[in-house]
Structure 1
Amino acid sequence: MKNKLRTSLSIKFFIGTVFVLVICSAFVYAIMMLSIPKTYQKNVNVQVQRNTDDFVEKLSSMTLEEAKEPIYNFCIENVVLAKLDTADGQKFSFGDMDKIKETTEDELNSLAYGVQFKNSTQEDMLVFFVVDSSGRQNVTLSFWKSIPLVLILVLLASFITAYLCHRILIRPIIYLSRVSKRLSTLDLTWRCNTKRKDELGILAESLDSMSLNLQRTLKELEMKSEQLEQDIVKMKDMERQRKSFFAAVSHELKTPITILKAYSENMLYKIGDFADREKYLRENLTVLNSLEKLVKEIILVAKLDANDMQQSYEEASLVRMIKSDIKSILPIAKKKQIQIKNQIDTDIKIYVNERLFKKVLSNIILNAVQYSPPQEQVILKLENEKRLQIINTGTRIENLEDIFQPFFRVEKSRNKATGGSGMGLYIVKKVLELHGMDYQMSNVEGGVMFEITLDGEIIDNF
């Protein structure tokens, strides 16, 4: 019960209403009980005085004997006592004079008059006593008897007041309390949905507005949190790739540097065949050229990773770039008896960084030639005037998911005679992503296909 009293606003309000009404009613009732009997007695005294004034004026036309009976009747009618003291010492009383002894000073009121009766030369003293307190007592008794009725009315008024206040004030406050409690648990689906225009309506609108703002803020935080998680994953992946890249770079640079050092030392000390310096200087030059190519590729990759490339796009002919690359790769293909078939019969213009895109085409075609068995084919097609396809026959790649990693080689021996540095397709990936082009590499029937989706316009048909 105590816990219910602590947590229920309705019970608190009802008890408070009853308490306030009872206190106020008791206070008003006490004032009325004290003031009304006195007021009643005062009014009675005033009325009696008026009657006695009129009556005393009439006595002057009567003799003493004639006045006795009217005085007696007047006392009965006005509920008073009277005492007459004549000038010759006679004393007369009208009514039960013992009541004066039983009456307190507050309840006793006396009115004295000098009366000169008819045929009398001297003035007699007539005193009236107002001693009837029954009316005052009846008023007080009526008040006491009405207390149960007043209490019932107070309780009834309390119930009605509490009910109306519950409907108008308490119930909306309880509902707002539930909504705010839901909001504290981040349940933002609740709404106050009130049409009130008073302070409670303003509070409800504020809660709804706060809920919407919290919902919007939480969504933004969730999106930012997801973005942050993605950025963290991306940064970790980039850091992993960076470490892997530098580890691979150090490995790739170590081999040619070791060869150059060994050749130089052997030539310096003229050990064995290394006495023929001219022969091994040519070997050194070949290694240096390979090292220079690797360093240039590493620098290009670093710039692509750092977005430090000047993105100057220009209109370029796809066929012209392909023919230029085929021309430079054709000697290598002939050496392996590989036929390069250019089946593109429609030229399109594309907006690219021509130097970088030529590098893409060159790397893809060169990879196709290098990793195809002798006497196979490298076929170039343009499907639907958008999809550039480069297919090399007679081969298959098992681990396509790693093909675009830096320094990855399908041929595990990493023999320079059968492949490059492993940076070619990684550069292709970076350049195509820079241009926003979709690409994929897949095993197809009879070989491997590299496909690039281009966004260009037709120039001419062959």
Structure 2
Amino acid sequence: MKMKLFPRIFLYTFNMMLLISILAHLLLFFIAPYQNVLITNMSVTNVGAIALSEIDMPQLITNTIIKTFPISLIGCIMISLVFSYIFSKRITTPILLTVNDVKQMANMDIKAQCRVKSPDEIGFLATNINALYQSLLTTIHNLEQEKEKVSLAEREKLNFLRAASHELKTPVTELNATLENMILCIGDYSDYETYLPKCKEVTEQLGIMIKDILNTSRLQMEASNEKSEEFVLQELLLEICEPYKLIAQIRGIRFHTIISGKTVMFAPVQLLKKAISNILSNAVNYTSVGKNIFVTIHSDFLTVNNECTPLSDEQLQNIFEPFYRLDYSKNQNTVGNGFGLYIVETIFKKLKLDYKFIPLENNDGMSFTVQF
């Protein structure tokens, strides 16, 4: 079993101090008797004469050292014990504190930090450990966010593929059944001149749907790589509105634009064009003849209001899902595969823009608002 840090430093310090004390005593024992020291003893005799005699100094010193050696050694041992303990405690306390704090960090305790505050190398080490731990926590947090984003993207792709396969299955099944009945000359299907154009219509529908699926899938992959440019939002909006004004006039819809100010933005222009175009197209397709569309931009807010049948809460929950189409869209002769608002949501999420799609307060239409 390995000895802990404090006992090791204590024993090492104590042994060193004790060794120094013993060596000092030994040096004193061997060197002191041979020093050239003469001491004369003076005494007075009975007849009044003075007698001088020399003392054996080496023997005297040796005897003195031998007598005092145990007391001196015990004193040195006690002093060594006290100072070794103080020194070891002073040295090991910040190290042990750092070890305990690092253990908490190893357990990923968010509140853990090295408590040592000193101007020496141990203090610098504690500061660096704290900085490293905070950097590690930040990295882990970022990785968790990226993991969540990847998981969300994977779920969205999976849901998109499921919806796409479901949408494609219906016209494929219809086309297969029609062709099979035509081959077998069952009933009216033997009339090729009637059903071949219908089969062509189904294949064209499949082609459009597959193209929309591929474009949407490509948009999801390339949206993050789109380069940003500087532009004036009002000028871009005027450019996008022009073709939809013409379409609205042809359909007998009044198209109004209320644009003010000058907002300079730095964002992917093509992605914004695609999203705003889909919003305007959606507004034109679902506005009745003789009704109004109001496109307003003020500061960094874009609002598109169109007079139509307001959506129910259930419809609003599903309106941004791919392939979702309103039940009454066929009655209005609208064309689409339900990708418009799904693409809008995908782009706005990539650009981190806030948006909302809600009924108007007077309940005679819908309002789409985007904050840039």
Question: What is the CA distance between 1:146 and its match in structure 2?
Answer: 6.6
Question: What is the CA distance between 1:303 and its match in structure 2?
Answer: 1.7
Alpha carbons of 1:269 and 1:219: their partners in 2 closer, same or farther (altered >3 Å)?
A: same
Of 340-349 and 246-255, deviating more is 340-349
Residue 118 (structure 2) pairs with residue 193 (structure 1): yes
Partner residue of 1:364? 279
Question: What is the CA distance between 1:307 and its match in structure 2?
Answer: 0.6
Query: Which amino acid is 2:345 matched to?
Result: K
Residue 140 (structure 2) pairs with residue 225 (structure 1): yes
Query: Which amino acid is 1:295 matched to?
Result: I
Question: What is the CA distance between 1:229 and its match in structure 2?
Answer: 1.8
The answer on whether the counterparts of 1:379 and 1:391 sit within 8 Å (CA) in structure 2 is yes
TM-score by length of 1: 0.57
Alpha carbons of 1:176 and 1:357: their partners in 2 closer, same or farther (altered >3 Å)?
A: closer
Partner residue of 1:404? 320
Distance 2:158 2:99 in 1: 51
Alpha carbons of 1:282 and 1:345: their partners in 2 closer, same or farther (altered >3 Å)?
A: farther
Alpha carbons of 1:189 and 1:378: their partners in 2 closer, same or farther (altered >3 Å)?
A: farther
Residue 207 (structure 2) pairs with residue 292 (structure 1): yes
Written as runs of structure 1 = structure 2, the 5 A alignment for 1:91-110 is none
Candidates 335, 358, 362, aligned match of 1:442: 358
The answer on whether the counterparts of 1:274 and 1:280 sit within 8 Å (CA) in structure 2 is yes
Partner residue of 2:258? 344
Is the partner of 1:306 in helix, strand or coil? helix
Question: What is the CA distance between 1:297 and its match in structure 2?
Answer: 1.5
Distance 2:18 2:270 in 1: 93
Query: Which amino acid is 1:427 matched to?
Result: I
Question: What is the CA distance between 1:271 and its match in structure 2?
Answer: 3.9
Residue 198 (structure 2) pairs with residue 283 (structure 1): yes
User: 5+ unaligned residues in a row in structure 2: which ranges?
Assistant: 41-46, 106-111
Cα deviations by residue, 1:203-247 (Å, 9 ceiling, x for unpaired): x32x33333333222222222222222222222222222222122
Written as runs of structure 1 = structure 2, the 5 A alignment for 1:421-432 is 421-432=337-348
Alpha carbons of 1:228 and 1:145: their partners in 2 closer, same or farther (altered >3 Å)?
A: closer
The answer on whether the counterparts of 2:355 and 2:371 sit within 8 Å (CA) in structure 1 is yes
Is the partner of 1:367 in helix, strand or coil? helix
Query: Which amino acid is 1:248 matched to?
Result: A
Written as runs of structure 1 = structure 2, the 5 A alignment for 1:52-201 is 140=59, 144=63, 147=66, 149=68, 151-156=70-75, 170=88, 172-182=90-100, 184-185=102-103, 186=105, 188-194=113-119
Partner residue of 1:452? 370
Alpha carbons of 1:434 and 1:153: their partners in 2 closer, same or farther (altered >3 Å)?
A: closer
Written as runs of structure 1 = structure 2, the 5 A alignment for 1:45-56 is none
Query: Which amino acid is 2:135 matched to?
Result: E
Is the partner of 2:313 in helix, strand or coil? coil
Distance 1:434 1:225 in 2: 23
Distance 1:381 1:5 in 2: 75
Candidates 238, 260, 264, aligned match of 1:319: 238
Question: What is the CA distance between 1:397 and its match in structure 2?
Answer: 3.8
The answer on whether the counterparts of 1:263 and 1:284 sit within 8 Å (CA) in structure 2 is yes
Alpha carbons of 1:268 and 1:417: their partners in 2 closer, same or farther (altered >3 Å)?
A: farther
Question: What is the CA distance between 1:301 and its match in structure 2?
Answer: 0.9
Of 390-399 and 14-23, deviating more is 14-23
Of 258-267 and 422-431, deviating more is 258-267
Alpha carbons of 1:349 and 1:162: their partners in 2 closer, same or farther (altered >3 Å)?
A: closer
Partner residue of 2:127? 212
Distance 1:144 1:164 in 2: 30
Alpha carbons of 1:416 and 1:295: their partners in 2 closer, same or farther (altered >3 Å)?
A: farther
Aligned-residue Cα RMSD (Å) equals 4.8
Cα deviations by residue, 1:406-450 (Å, 9 ceiling, x for unpaired): 223454999996773221111222344566654322344214321
Question: What is the CA distance between 1:161 and its match in structure 2?
Answer: 6.6
Question: What is the CA distance between 1:347 and its match in structure 2?
Answer: 9.0
TM-score by length of 2: 0.69
User: 5+ unaligned residues in a row in structure 1: which ranges?
Assistant: 48-72, 80-133, 195-203, 455-462
Distance 2:227 2:19 in 1: 84
Distance 1:154 1:246 in 2: 89
Distance 1:386 1:182 in 2: 53
Cα deviations by residue, 1:381-404 (Å, 9 ceiling, x for unpaired): 314244222234431342545433
